[in-house]
């Protein structure tokens, strides 16, 4: 049936969707289009948060390609799996994430569409358990964090933790802000490789945060999206493991999209630890019903690849070796940036793909227009977008703006 929009009826009936207001376009996606349209050969893309190799590509990992070939050869059905996704995937991944701390009856995990799906599913669970819970999120953070919790109906609160002038942690400010947190509130924590700042809490600060959660009845929700890209698989999971050991109730949103290079295949998992096995049972049933209404079942392909890699000794060793090369590349570039100018020295000790530069909106625009250097509007750079050969060009273009930023203070 076609509707005649010129009919008198169409004219009097209000458009039920007219109440929607247009939303701003995603700034980072806009940057991709601008970068693509830039004809300058020396342009440098530090915007989008994907790993890049020495030749500027984001390749499919060899271990993933091999697993893909095996999957195509052996997969004999694409029938539905279920809301929990691939159970063997979640189990194999739990060993990577939690190590020996993985298997107990208070911990329940399900496959999700990426880390984003895990965060949203966790947010929905928390909202269902307690609508009054507020979610404390450090500023700055990954821009999707706030909307994910807000769309699930939870109030979000910001706390300080980062000093942009020294590009380091301001723990006293964080503790001061968290004094307002109430029992039952949620504390969102980046497990490693903070996006966008690259800074990490010390072991003592993590311990203090665990103590704070325990003393005040806060629920830690760890977001671990870059395991293996900071200091290695075990070190990058240390804070998560400590939090899960220290507290009866904790959540973890995990992404395999960076450390397996599976971005568009959307591979993640949510784990929820409860204070008792009985609660864990009802948590699981709630997680599954929520997942069912959100996406019914997660996409299988990427998770099947992760399972194949983790279950096969050779593929697993190959994946770890590839991950080591990625990490070494990022950390090597961090060293090169830090060595180029003392004002960038903090970048060496930071971890993960990102760092935040104290640049004005004007400086960010000038770097793009005059030098073809693209970065996120908040001054976040993707370190992996650099190359040892482009570091000097980048730093040379950057320094006058760092000088100006210093003068403005």
Output the six-digit token pair for 218. 């806060």
Q: How many CB atoms lie within 10 A of CB 392?
A: 11
Which of 47, 85, 109, 115 is the binder for ligand PMP (CB under 6 A)?
115
Indicate if 65 belongs to the active site: no
Catalytic residue among 236, 250, 258, 300: 258
| Active-site residue, selected from the candidate residues 123, 225, 237, 363 | 225
The CA distance from 225 to 258, in Å, is 7
Q: Among residues 38 and 231, whose Cβ is nearest to ligand PMP?
A: 231
Choice from 195, 197, 273, 318 touching ligand PMP (CB under 6 A): 195
Q: Which of 84, 86, 177, 257 is in the footprint of ligand PMP by CB under 6 A?
A: 257
DSSP percent split of the chain into helix, strand, coil, nearest 5: 50, 15, 35
* Residue in 185, 223, 257, 300 annotated catalytic: 223
Q: Is 223 a catalytic residue?
A: yes
User: Near ligand PMP by CB under 6 A, which window of 111-119, 212-220, 281-289, 358-366?
Assistant: 111-119
Tokens for 23, please give them.
């939303």
In angstroms, the CA 160 to CA 175 distance is 9
Given 142, 206, 271, 319, the catalytic residue: 142
Is the backbone peptide bond immediately before 196 cis, with ω within 30 degrees of 0? Answer: yes
- List 85, 114, 228, 385, residue binding ligand PMP (CB under 6 A): 114
- 267-296 positions binding ligand PMP, by CB under 6 A: 268
Q: Which positions from 38 through 97 interact with ligand PMP, judged by CB under 6 A?
A: 49
State how beta strands 267-273 and 250-255 pair.
antiparallel
Q: How far apart are CA 45 and CA 36, in angstroms?
A: 9
Cβ-contact 188, 152 below 8 angstroms: no
Which helix (H) or strand (E) segment holds residue 349: the answer is helix 346-349
Token pair, residue 139, equals 């500023």
Question: In whole angstroms, what is the distance from residue 136 CA to residue 217 CA?
Answer: 13
Between CA 372 and CA 40 the distance in angstroms is 7
Instruction: Tell me, yes or no, if 258 is annotated catalytic.
Output: yes
Among positions 123, 213, 225, 308, the unique one binding ligand PMP when judged by CB under 6 A = 225
Minimum gap (Å) between residue 82 Cβ and ligand PMP: 21
Position with the least CB separation from ligand PMP? 114
Is 142 assigned a catalytic role? Answer: yes
Using CB under 6 A, which of the segments 1-9, 39-47, 110-118, 315-323 binds ligand PMP?
A: 110-118
Chain residues binding ligand PMP by CB under 6 A are 49, 114-116, 142, 190, 195, 223, 225, 255, 257, 268
Active site positions, annotated? 142, 223, 225, 258
């Amino acid at each position: 049936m076609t509707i005649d929009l010129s009919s008198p009826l169409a004219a009097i009936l209000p458009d039920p969707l007219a109440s929607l207001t247009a939303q701003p376009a995603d700034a980072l996606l806009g940057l991709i289009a601008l970068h693509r349209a830039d004809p300058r050969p020396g342009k440098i893309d530090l915007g989008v948060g994907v790993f890049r190799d020495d030749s500027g590509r984001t390749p499919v990992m060899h271990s993933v390609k091999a697993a893909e070939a095996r999957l195509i050869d052996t997969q004999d059905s694409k029938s539905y799996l279920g809301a929990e996704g691939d159970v063997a995937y979640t189990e194999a991944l739990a060993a990577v994430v939690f190590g020996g701390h993985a298997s107990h009856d208070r911990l329940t995990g399900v496959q999700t569409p990426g880390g984003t799906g895990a965060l949203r599913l966790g947010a929905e669970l928390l909202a269902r358990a307690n609508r009054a819970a507020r979610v404390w999120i450090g500023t700055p953070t990954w821009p999707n964090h706030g909307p994910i919790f807000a769309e699930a109906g939870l109030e979000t609160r910001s706390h300080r933790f980062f000093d942009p002038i020294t590009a380091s942690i301001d723990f006293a400010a964080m503790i001061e802000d968290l004094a307002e947190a109430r029992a039952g509130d949620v504390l969102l924590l980046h497990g490693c490789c903070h996006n966008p700042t690259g800074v990490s809490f010390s072991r003592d600060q993590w311990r203090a945060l665990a103590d704070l959660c325990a003393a005040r009845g806060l629920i830690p929700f760890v977001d671990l999206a870059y395991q293996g890209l900071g200091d290695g698989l075990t070190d990058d999971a240390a804070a998560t493991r400590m939090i899960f050991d220290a507290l009866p109730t904790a959540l973890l949103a995990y992404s395999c999209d960076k450390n397996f290079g599976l971005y568009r295949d959307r591979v993640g998992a949510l784990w929820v630890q409860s204070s008792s096995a009985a609660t864990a049972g009802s948590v699981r049933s709630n997680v599954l019903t929520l997942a069912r209404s959100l996406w019914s079942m997660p996409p299988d392909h990427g998770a099947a690849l992760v399972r194949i890699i983790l279950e096969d000794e050779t593929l697993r060793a190959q994946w770890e070796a590839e991950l080591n090369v990625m990490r070494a590349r990022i950390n090597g570039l961090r060293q090169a940036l830090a060595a180029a100018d003392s004002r960038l020295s903090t970048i060496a000790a930071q971890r993960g793909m990102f760092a935040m530069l104290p640049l004005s909106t004007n400086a960010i625009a000038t770097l793009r227009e005059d030098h073809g250097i693209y970065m996120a509007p908040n001054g976040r750079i993707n370190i992996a977008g650099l190359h040892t050969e482009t570091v000097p060009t980048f730093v040379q273009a950057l320094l006058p703006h760092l000088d100006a930023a210093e003068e403005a203070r």
